[in-house]
Amino acid sequence: MFISGQPPASGMPEISSRYDGLGVGFAPYLQPPGPEVVRWTVGEPGFDAPTEVIEATIKGLEDGNTKYTRGAGSMELCQAVSDYLARHHGIDVGMDDVVITPGAKQALLYSFMIATMPGDEAILLAPSWASYEPMLSLIGAVPVNVPVRKDNFHPDIDAIAAAVTERTRMILINSPCNPTGAVFTPDEMQAIVDIAIEHDLWIVSDEIYARLVWTDYPHTSPSTLSGGKERTLIVNGWSKSWAMTGMRLGFLAGPPDAMRAAVKTQANSASHVPTFMMHAAAVALDCDDSVEEFNREYLKRRDIMIGGLEEMSGLRVIEPEGAFYVFVDVTGTGMSDIEFADGALEAGVQLIPTSLITGGEGFVRISYATDEEAIHEGLRRLRAWLVD
């Protein structure tokens, strides 16, 4: 019996139902195993952040940059992002239309809040990064998964067009893609923009892997295409190409009204990113040498990984075009992806079975952002398990 003024027997009030069944991405498979296990799981660069960034961070603290400041990020940093986007991706956004966020994740959350109301539908291209679906569900939007093409993981344009309903408000794209490694062509991007124009939809473009492109065509942001600028919310950040995951820095850029909404969202939640990090983030954007050096290493590691996996019968590897993942079809081994991941873990290699996400059944995701020795050792262990 509940006696007024006293908590119920559990001692805790009820938690709101928005958390019922909410996923946490790949988290169950990202737990660090024992030190003897080789980890091919974490989507995190095996490098340290550039020295210039570390020095600028320390200087930021020493200079006393520890107080509240401009919510969207310092003028210097927003201008640096605007210049960076123009220089590397041909994107035209002014510094007033950039909001610096605590990681790309927060920028994604703001963009979903800007594009949808509860009950509205958001098109995802499946399989997609494990956090998108729970994040949309958290704010009451309805994820609608449209499978990508089986042969190359590129978008199926007709299927996207067919999935649009009265309730659709946005299409989420992530090129280069985690987990598949696909890099969409400029024509595919334009076709998606055309669908968005026809149905008056937002495009949320997660471009966090935009510098990690191994194709002979470049990364194309939908905001650079005809009719794309006024409906694209660009999400990006420092975690991947500058190896700054723990510094929690990302950004959102897009049309002025949408960015005003983003500033309001941030003002009522995070306020801003740490003040002493802002100059360091601007410094990072000029560290092209580090980005290029990391990329040379990733390419080398990618080739070692693909070469090793292709030698093992039962595994089908579609060459990844970008990011630092290989998406491997394991159905030829006769095992489910969960059985394969469990067996690999017993053999001493941790990887992610992607039936945890919609459209990922029969595949495992391998990250080659790890160091070269861990790739060689993991391949030796898989070979001993599968082949010998």
Ligand X SMILES: Cc1ncc(COP(=O)(O)O)c(C=O)c1O
Q: Give residues in contact with ligand X (CB under 6 A).
A: 43, 103-105, 129, 174, 178, 206, 208, 237, 239, 245, 250
Residue in the shown chain whose Cβ atom is closest to ligand X:
103
Q: What is the rounded distance in angstroms from the CA atom of residue 272 to the CA atom of residue 98?
A: 13
Which residue lies nearer to ligand X by CB, 43 or 46?
43
Q: What is the rounded distance in angstroms from the CA atom of residue 202 to the CA atom of residue 200?
A: 7
Q: How far is the CB of 124 from ligand X (least distance, A)?
A: 12
Determine contact, residues 201/168, Cβ cutoff 8 Å. Answer: yes
Q: How many Cα atoms within 13 Å fall on the side-chain side of residue 120?
A: 16
Q: How far is the CB of 238 from ligand X (least distance, A)?
A: 7
Q: What is the rounded distance in angstroms from the CA atom of residue 117 to the CA atom of residue 142?
A: 10
Which residue lies nearer to ligand X by CB, 137 or 245?
245
SS3 state of residue 205: strand
Determine contact, residues 330/362, Cβ cutoff 8 Å. Answer: yes
Which residue lies nearer to ligand X by CB, 103 or 228?
103
Which residue lies nearer to ligand X by CB, 174 or 224?
174
Q: How far is the CB of 261 from ligand X (least distance, A)?
A: 20
Contacts 24+ apart (CB under 8 A), 31-36: 33/345, 33/350, 36/348
Q: How far is the CB of 49 from ligand X (least distance, A)?
A: 13
Q: Are strands 363-367 and 325-329 parallel, antiparallel or unpaired?
A: antiparallel
Q: How far is the CB of 186 from ligand X (least distance, A)?
A: 20
Which residue lies nearer to ligand X by CB, 215 or 245?
245
SS3 state of residue 101: strand
